[in-house]
Structure 1
Amino acid sequence: MHEDTERCVRAVQAKDARFDGWFFTGVVTTGIYCRPSCPAVPPKPQNMRFYPSSAAAQQAGFRACKRCRPDTSPGSPEWNHRADVVARAMRLVADGVVDREGVPGLATRLGYSTRQIERQLRAELGAGPLALARAQRAQTARLLIETSALPMSDVAFASGFASIRAFNETIREVFAQTPTELRDRVSRGHPAAANGTLSLRLPFRRPFFPDNLFGHLAATAVPGVEEWRDGAYRRTLRLPHGPGIVALKPTPEYVACTLTLTDLRDLTIAISRCRWMLDLDADPVAVDELLSADPVLEPLVRKAPGRRVPRTACGAEFGVRAVLGQQVSTAAARTHAARLVRAHGEPVDDPGGGLTHLFPMPDALMDLEPAGLAFPESRRTTLKTLVTALASGDLDLSVGADWDEARAKLAELPGIGPWTIETIAMRSLGDPDAFVASDLGVRYAARALDLPGTPAALTRRAAAWRPWRSYAVQHLWATGDHAINTIPA
């Protein structure tokens, strides 16, 4: 979008928050860059320069605006509804792959050379993977500076910087303030969080309808791994440097996020996974506009604009849970998953609630005894085969996975049919166009709305909803009387 100058100028002049994260505006007369909705007086059009990422604006020599804080914008929805290599790369950068494995590790995961990845990211984003990761480190550092009492040296290394010098130089360059000045600016009257626990605000694009999102996560919560407590969805997180616990609570302005981490180096990854899980970087205006064009869906969208698709914090975890949920009730699926967790999950300590374990990874389930699973032999075989494929790396369900390849690999496994494939595509892979035509709730809704009753006919009818069929599913499910549609009291 940043190449459409006229459209960008109109968005900036209107201070339109819908475009926050889509592009960034550099102002040549001030040397700062802003989000489109910046409350400052809009600059003259001839003084505006537009960039597709904060990293590109920083590389062009602009520093972040102190009023609108463009580094805290919602992420671009481009990386969530696309499956090409650039979108996959951006999802992996957000998940911390460059910091953990470097650019070669990113390239290996994507199946390209480092030169190809560099070239493609620079062509579309105006910055390479190292610059993108640097911008992300700067944002993490700012969060730690402003919300914790950590010494600056600890903030530097927790943010992923290799040295104090690099940390200081980056903060001054990006924010035009020293780390101490940043902390002093916000610390007056705001007590710092306890070590290891941070309270953050996760922004989203409006409209935002949280009922089905949090209702689904609460209704399907696996005991010990997830819970609904004090108006918040809580769960354990498996992170590179140790387990974490997150509490997510919807408010009209933002999602309140409280993170308790073993190691603060995992902050960036934890935030990224929470945003992914809640689909916070979606473009609800585009989704609702297309779905509202269908007279059947229009009243549903008008009633609840801004629905999101509930995703998962771990793709492999949900793959296992999808198989456990085949042809059984939500309660039965939770019971099966809870047994796996108690037998194979890693214990965690949760002084603030009832969370007890991390969900077991596929390699921990390799010694699973099929005879101990209380469901049919065929599903036991399906689960064992899936776990083997995930543990060996033959099947990738992570945020950076190739959607078409993952679907093809799943289809090769015994007992994995269209419902399981599309459910995993929607919740694990984040494909916004996944469509569970054979789902019982979808079929009930179709019947009530006089839509075609068979999966094949409904799929043909749903072609008009592409590329947002996953969101159409949320509206169809909401026509039923089920706990997934309502935030618990």
Structure 2
Amino acid sequence: MVAGGILDVMHEDFERCVRAVQSKDARFDGWFFTGVKSTGIYCRPSCPALPPKPANMTFHPTAAAAQQAGFRACKRCRPDATPGSPEWNVRADVVARAMRLIADGVVDRDGVTGLATRLGYSVRQLERNLRAEVGAGPLALARAQRATTARLLIETSTMPMGQVAFAAGFSSIRTFNETVSEVFALSPTQLRQRSGGRGVTAGSSAVRLRLPFRRPLVPDSLFGHLVATAVPGVEEWRDGAYRRALRLPHGPAVVSLRPDVEFVECRLQLSDHRDLTGAISRCRWMLDLDADPVAVDEALSADEVLAPLVAAAPGRRVPKTVDAAEFAIRAVLGQQVSTAAARTHAGRLVERFGEAVDDPDGGLTRVFPSVESLVDADLSSVLAMPVSRRETVAGLVRALADGEVVLGPGSDWEVAREQLSRLRGIGPWTVESVAMRALGDPDAFLASDLGVKVAAEVLDLPSSPGSLSRRAAMWRPWRAYAVQYLWATGDHAINRLPES
């Protein structure tokens, strides 16, 4: 799926797509969708139904494009429930950034104009770019996403249909009914009846769902990293699940994520169901569930040093974050100190400035402080650290608040690196940490990281940052994943699930 380090335009390779459909290859789910002209439905490549004749197949880069072409979703394979395309998370061009922002719900909150403004493009330019590459404009992409959100709420909650419609982002009940019926060939009521009554208890604001991913996946280092670096009060490991508090546009939320063999079990306690789409997107992003582990591991296995590490535990993911600004602040707090010290600093910040959250099922108490709440805060009484590092934290907060540094799903990776590098007290380790875990650059590389250095020495690789960076050139464009394999060679809590 990767040629010369550049992702192929999968849906344009007709023969390759046909082979994937005929072999029911689940690795390609989310890469493209198959429209079946004889039935008028669209499917995921791994649909268990008998493959159609090639002459009846058409291929589309997104579900929205398939819907735009007049196809409705297959009731059997549920193409709307596939992992997302890995392509949007390994690129930093305007189309990929737009797709990440749409997934985060920006069109529903700010409209197409707001999306275009964030990207620095005119609405016409953005429409043209998206239609040329993904076969649909931002409104159609957001519509497909609303339909998927509506289906989740219909099938996993007992909310009245009117509330489902507005929570999913529809402007009217009529549009909701028409869209759901058109996309799924079933009315909202029929969808709820087919769900078998597996919704949550009436009156509950919780939503339970399964987050799919491409196999293989190593949960130990993924969840282990999140738990080992967890901020007290904001994150915890309880009963075999990683739990954390989220700040969402319409209020705080609590999510519980439990790894399983074929999916991640997700339970969301929301203040407002309008945040469901964004919450799911952020959880998938944090766990790197849309990655293509086969492509990554194949590339890294070409190195004889990494090959045994990949073979021993294929499918390592990059643990990311639900809030880029939060991670950047935590990265600065963790400069040149132990994991335990970084957690302590962050915990004090949370206890003093974090917004309270209700968590009747666990021990979460607050969400991480917003940038706005920290701009004028007196950090000297909270952060017991050198004055220079405290000033670095304050400088980063001001830069984030003023827009001098822009971090988020729509960020240009290289521009963000330059913005961070200009701030006093922020060096290469922090910049690359943010690039890797907050911005999601798959090629970010922590050449100066202590854990990476120790692993390099054990594996007889160059250990100086410059020499190691040159040696790591052959791992591109997946150096962030190489870091995960290097870290996993050490005996550290980040590499194992805690005991429940």
TM-score interval, smaller chain? over 0.9
Q: Indicate whether 1:262 and 2:255 are aligned.
A: no
Are 1:440 and 2:450 counterparts? yes
List alignment gaps of at least 5 residues for structure 2.
Answer: 1-9
* Alignment map for 1:27-106 (pairs within 5 Å): 27-106=36-115
Residue 329 in structure 1 maps to residue 332 in structure 2: no
From 16, 20, 27, the equivalent of 1:11 is: 20
Return the letter of the residue paired with 2:454.
Y
What's the CA shift string for 1:176-197, capped at 9, x where partnerless?
Answer: 0110011101125666565210
Give the root-mean-square deviation of aligned CA atoms: 0.9
Alignment of 1:143-182 (within 5 A): 143-182=152-191
**1: CA distance, partners of 2:196 / 2:477:** 44
| Structure 1: distance between partners of 2:375 and 2:26 | 48
Letter in 2 for 1:56: A
Aligned length: 489
Number of the residue aligned with 1:421: 431
Amino acid at match of 2:412: D
**Could you tell me how far apart the structure 2 residues matched to 1:12 and 1:194 are?**
42
- Cα displacement (A) at 1:54: 0.2
Return the offset for 1:136.
0.1
Question: Per the alignment, in what secondary structure is the counterpart of residue 195 of structure 2?
Answer: helix
How far has the Cα of 1:100 moved from its partner? 0.3
Q: Determine the C-alpha separation between the residues in 2 that align with 1:194 and 1:74.
A: 30
CA distance, structure 2, for counterparts of residue 198 and residue 188 of structure 1 = 13
What is residue 482 of structure 1 aligned with on the other side?
492
1:111 to 115, 120, 125: 120
Paired residues of 1:148 and 1:194 also in contact (CA < 8 A): no
Structure 1 stretch displaced more, 230-239 or 190-199: 190-199
Change (3 A) 1:452 1:193: farther
Does the aligned pair in 1 maintain the 2:102–2:141 contact within 8 Å?
A: yes
How far residue 368 of structure 1 moved from its aligned partner, in angstroms, is 2.5
Structure 1 unmatched ranges of 5 or more = none
How many Å apart are 1:398 and its aligned residue? 0.6
Q: 1:147 touches 1:192 (CA, 8 Å); kept in 2?
A: no
- 1:107 is aligned with what amino acid? A
* Distance (Å, rounded) in 2 between the aligned partners of 1:265 and 1:222: 27
User: Tell me, what secondary structure is at the counterpart of 2:445?
Assistant: coil
3-state SS of 1:244 partner: strand
Deviation per residue, 1:43-63 (Å, 9 max, x gap) = 000000000000000010000
The answer as to whether partners of 1:28 and 1:48 remain within 8 angstroms in 2 is yes
Counterparts of 1:344 and 1:53 in 2: how far apart (Å)? 41
AA paired with 1:451? L
Aligned to 1:75, what secondary structure does the other structure show? coil
Deviation at 1:369, TM superposition (A): 2.1
Supply the AA of the counterpart residue of 2:492.
H
Q: How does 1:272-287 map to 2 (within 5 A)?
A: 272-287=281-296
Name the CA distance, whole Å, in 2 between partners of 1:421 and 1:323: 10
Contact 2:158 2:199 in 1 (8 A): no
Is 2:223 the partner of 1:186? no
Mapped partners of 1:456, 1:278: distance in 2: 30
Amino acid at match of 2:245: T
Q: Displacement, 1:80?
A: 0.4
| Residue 464 (str. 1) matches residue 474 (str. 2) | yes
More moved, 363-372 vs 12-21: 363-372
- Farther off after superposition, 189-198 or 464-473: 189-198
Counterpart code for 1:219: A
The whole-number CA distance in structure 1 between the counterparts of 2:364 and 2:377 is 23
Amino acid at match of 1:11: A
Deviation, structure 1 residue 361: 1.0
Aligned-partner SS, 1:488: coil
Give 1:150 deviation, angstroms.
0.8
Tell me, in whole angstroms, the C-alpha distance in 2 between the residues paired with 1:399 and 1:227. 25
Give matches, 1:374-389, under 5 Å.
Answer: 374-389=384-399
- Counterpart among 381, 387, 405 of residue 395 in structure 1: 405
The answer to whether structure 1 residue 126 and structure 2 residue 135 are counterparts is yes
Matched residue SS, 2:380 = helix
TM-score, normalised to structure 2's length?
Answer: 0.97
Offset at 1:376? Answer: 0.8
